[in-house]
């Protein structure tokens, strides 16, 4: 087990500086254009693939960093560049992690390379879980997968929403209900290969922020996938369902808590994204306050501005420390006895919204225009309090954990 430390080692610093350099040289200059276009920034993703940032190898190396700091460090730097473009770069990782966590070695070797493509022909993947009536309440999922024994195929029907890369992905990973009697334990994940009949893109959402990231509905109408596309295989699924049914009879709440623990462990990465956006806005505001003069002196000499900047920096550093603590705990198997994962996501998300709003205020009228990036950063920051569990859900998780109550 790695000791918790706030000091990055030389290798981590090298990776951090490399990712930061890419964000500064490639992502940030392209941010305004792709925000206006509201399209997937394929040229930027291709550049990320050429240097090795858009690749399974890069994310695997960061994920298996024993300190737990590899992923949050990389996320902070990418999202410092721009949240919309960064989400287009890292969105495929959601689907890849789903396959890595649940798939067989053969499935991992077959499908993950197809998710990324290569530097000359980049591909993206989509993880499809949320539904119109099942966001925070995963137990209300309606998409069904039924096994057709005669053909050894699974038939999937339903509608997914808020899917990053939904409809444009080469590979879709779809979560569906296979046994509705046991709640979220009756879910399974399926690979939907490229060009599978019955899968189509529904509504593409025109969003308030992160507009360079493609978000859409995915419609599944009698989608048939081979039995080999069930992640983990049918034998493993049958065994898991049998255990879940038995546990549900004698300890249903314990089963639900185990499911929530999975979500809890993934939330610090979103917190790191929020820290990156907050830091970017703070740096713009700080530079502006040092150079903008009113009444014959820089506005940072005014206590009202200086105190805002002090609070902004303090909140950013506090958010980063919460993210790092939770990330270290997750990698080293430390239980979240006080919902530390939700704490990190909650505080970092709320910090991003507040800091970006303060940055606009410090820039005044300039901050309200698209001539300066803080307007975009403020729009982008709103998503952090919504996806991967709203701030209200985070507070509920924290409160029920502290009270020793089951998390439903």
Catalytic residue among 131, 253, 388, 392: 388
Contact 216, 166 (CB under 8 A): yes
All residues at 6 or more sequence positions from 7 whose CB lies less than 8 Å from its CB, including other chains: none
pLDDT of residue 264: 58
Contact 156, 225 (CB under 8 A): yes
- What's the CA gap between 185 and 240, in Å, rounded? 8
Q: Measure Cα distances from 394 to 47, 252, 315 in Å.
A: 36, 22, 18
Among 303, 302, 308, 304, residue whose Cα is nearest residue 282? 308
pLDDT of residue 178: 94
Please state whether the predicted TM-score (pTM) of the whole model is above 0.85.
Answer: yes
Tokens of 12: 């981590």
Tokens of 404: 């020793």
- What's the CA gap between 81 and 71, in Å, rounded? 16
Average pLDDT for runs of 10 along the chain of length 408: 82 96 98 97 97 91 91 97 97 89 92 93 94 74 94 97 96 94 86 97 97 97 97 91 76 43 70 98 98 94 96 98 95 90 97 98 96 97 93 94 83
All residues at 6 or more sequence positions from 134 whose CB lies less than 8 Å from its CB, including other chains: 140, 141, 142
pLDDT tens-digit series, residues 116-149: 999 899 999 999 998 988 766 666 789 999 999 9
Using CB atoms within 10 Å of the CB of residue 57, give its burial: 0 to 12 exposed, 13 to 18 middle, 19+ buried. exposed
To the query of whether residue 246 is one of the catalytic residues in this protein, the response is: no
pLDDT of residue 139: 65
């Amino acid at each position: 087990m790695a000791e918790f430390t706030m000091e990055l080692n030389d290798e981590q610093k090298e990776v951090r500086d490399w990712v930061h350099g890419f964000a500064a040289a490639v992502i940030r200059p392209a941010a305004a254009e792709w925000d206006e276009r509201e399209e997937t920034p394929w040229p930027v993703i291709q550049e990320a693939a050429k240097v090795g940032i858009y690749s399974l190898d890069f994310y695997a190396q960061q994920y298996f960093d024993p300190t737990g700091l590899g992923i949050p460090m990389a996320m902070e730097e990418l999202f410092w560049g721009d949240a919309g473009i960064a989400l287009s770069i890292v969105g495929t990782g959601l689907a890849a992690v789903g396959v890595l966590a649940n798939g067989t070695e053969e499935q991992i070797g077959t499908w993950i390379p197809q998710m990324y493509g290569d530097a000359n022909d980049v591909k993206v993947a989509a993880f499809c879980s949320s539904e119109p009536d099942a966001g925070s309440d995963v137990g209300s999922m309606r998409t069904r997968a039924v096994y057709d024994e005669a053909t050894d195929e699974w038939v999937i029907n339903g509608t997914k929403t808020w899917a990053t890369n939904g409809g444009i992905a080469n590979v879709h990973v779809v979560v569906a209900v296979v046994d509705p009697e046991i709640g979220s334990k009756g879910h399974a994940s399926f690979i939907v290969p490229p060009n599978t009949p019955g899968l189509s893109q529904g509504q593409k959402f025109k969003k308030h922020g992160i507009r360079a990231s493609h978000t859409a509905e995915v419609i599944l109408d009698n989608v048939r996938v081979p039995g080999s596309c069930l992640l983990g295989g049918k034998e493993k699924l049958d065994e898991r369902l049998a255990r879940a049914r038995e546990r549900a009879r004698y300890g249903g709440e314990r089963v639900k808590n185990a499911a929530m623990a999975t979500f809890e462990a993934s939330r610090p990465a979103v917190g790191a994204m929020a820290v990156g956006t907050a830091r970017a806005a703070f740096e713009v505001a700080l530079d502006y306050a040092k150079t903008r003069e009113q009444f014959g002196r820089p506005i940072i000499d005014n206590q009202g501005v200086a105190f805002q900047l002090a609070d902004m920096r303090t909140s950013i550093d506090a958010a980063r420390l919460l993210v790092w603590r939770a990330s270290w705990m997750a990698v080293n198997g430390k239980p979240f006895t006080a919902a530390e994962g939700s704490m990190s996501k909650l505080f970092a998300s709320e910090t991003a919204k507040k800091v970006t709003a303060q940055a606009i205020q410090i820039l005044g009228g300039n901050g309200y225009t698209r001539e300066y990036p803080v307007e975009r950063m403020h729009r982008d920051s709103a998503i952090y309090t919504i996806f991967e569990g709203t701030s209200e859900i985070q507070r509920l998780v924290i409160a029920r954990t502290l009270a020793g109550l089951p998390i439903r």
